[in-house]
Amino acid sequence: MADLSKITCIEDLRVIAQRRVPRMFYDYADSGSYTQGTYRANEAEFQKIKLRQRVAVNMEGRSTRTTMVGQDVAMPVAIAPTGLTGMQHADGEILAAKAAQAFGIPFTLSTMSICSLEDIATHTDRHPFWFQLYVMRDRGFMERLIDRAKAANCSALQLTLDLQILGQRHKDIKNGLSTPPKPTLANLINLATKPRWCLGMLGTRRRSFGNIVGHVDGVGDMSSLSSWTADQFDPRLNWGDVEWIKRRWGGKLILKGIMDVEDARLAAQSGADALIVSNHGGRQLDGAPSSIEALPAIAQAVGQDIEVWMDGGIRSGQDVLKARALGAQGTLIGRSFLYGLGAFGQDGVTRALQIIQKELDTTMAFCGHTNINNVGTDILLPGTYPRPWHDRG
């Protein structure tokens, strides 16, 4: 394992990842839609929240352990589903899953991953992991994906609700994002500056969408795949589809992409086990509130009926603690683990998790708590944190 002891924060990993990952894939992970206002707000709104420091409190015996949908976790953090993870680093989804398994937190595989469901199951000795599903026009393919997730020993299904049409991401358009990258002059020049990445990719056969290629009639190469995905995301998604998927899956169901109290109530009524307050990392509706701003109203409205989690903008253990204080039973990280992966592979993901847990543990102690399950708004300075919208006068 590389000596990563001098890597002290997620920003350190981001800087190295930007240097090592090809531009189109780094930009794919580290950008938002349109003006990127919501993407930036996800981080900025966390920084406005101030913590109450307490003293002369016994800080021994601290624990960050809790549960997410009944699963014991080392801290209230799961790895979020992110597309093209295997393009940040060769076999990226496998490496991230192994790091998460060793650390004791859940890993979620995206439908649009490079490594397949079967790859993850094989390389984690069939240790349970989570799978993220999109609603597609081809219901037969969806049924087969759900069945494959069951066969791979997935213990929960995340259904993404906020990507039936794609938000415009300017950097992806300018970069001509494709998997694998097209051999244009600009791409070849950029790849020449990323020798570690190129060597890794030469050593793996996983360079396209592993859950799709070979599993859909007529999709055997990248040219047919691109047209298939453009046509497949179903804009007619409705709550009836959620009910159908719940019946077909039969296990723990998590609904991702909730930003409105009315939708949160419908999510709770659907019988799902958890919802994720999420604006898709600022990659869909630019101009939407930050996830942490939307969290308190949703947690207050439905927190007694369904587990409420959140993602978006989490770059530290302090962010996790603030989300927990505002009603999130759990959180998910996307970019924070991707930076680690792009920088140092599996070791980098492990380092990202270590950084977040250490910050969470230390900050919790400074705020007068030794058990993450007892943290509430008492750790926050009044007037600095978002309140439910209807309480704002």
Return the active site residues.
280
200 Cβ neighbours under 8 A, 6+ residues apart: 89, 90, 91, 345
129 Cβ neighbours under 8 A, 6+ residues apart: 97, 100, 101, 106, 107, 108, 109, 120, 121, 152, 153, 154, 155
Is 28 within any annotated ligand binding site? yes
For the packed helices 346-366 and 10-20, what is the interaxial angle rounded to 10 degrees?
A: 160
CB 110 within 8 A of CB 134: no
Is 160 within any annotated ligand binding site? yes
Is 313 within any annotated ligand binding site? yes
Is 247 within any annotated ligand binding site? no
Is 283 within any annotated ligand binding site? yes
Is 334 within any annotated ligand binding site? yes
Is 183 within any annotated ligand binding site? no
Is 311 within any annotated ligand binding site? yes
Cα separation, 260 vs 282, whole angstroms = 15
Is 89 within any annotated ligand binding site? no
Cα separation, 133 vs 130, whole angstroms = 10
Is 114 within any annotated ligand binding site? no
Is 205 within any annotated ligand binding site? no
In the block, which residue shows the tokens 């439905």? 302
Is 169 within any annotated ligand binding site? yes
Nearest Cα neighbor of 327 from 270, 252, 392, 274 is 274
The CA-atom distances, in angstroms, between 331 and each of 39, 283, 324 are 17, 18, 8
Cα separation, 200 vs 192, whole angstroms = 13
Is 14 within any annotated ligand binding site? no
Is 208 within any annotated ligand binding site? no
Is 71 within any annotated ligand binding site? no
Nearest Cα neighbor of 229 from 161, 138, 148 is 138
Exposed, middle or buried, 148 (CB in 10 Å: 0-12/13-18/19+)? middle
Tokens for 13, please give them: 């990993």
Cα separation, 375 vs 380, whole angstroms = 10
Amino acid in position 131 = F
Is 23 within any annotated ligand binding site? no
Is 314 within any annotated ligand binding site? yes
CB 107 within 8 A of CB 74: no
Residues 176-192 as b/e (b if ≥16 CB within 10 A, e otherwise) read ebebebeeeeebeebbe
Is 351 within any annotated ligand binding site? no
Is 251 within any annotated ligand binding site? no
CB 161 within 8 A of CB 255: yes
Is 257 within any annotated ligand binding site? no
Residues tagged in the binding site annotation for FMN: 81-83, 110, 160, 256, 278, 311-315, 334-335
Residues tagged in the binding site annotation: 28, 81-83, 110, 132, 134, 160, 169, 256, 278, 280, 283, 311-315, 334-335
Residues tagged in the binding site annotation for glyoxylate: 28, 132, 134, 169, 280, 283
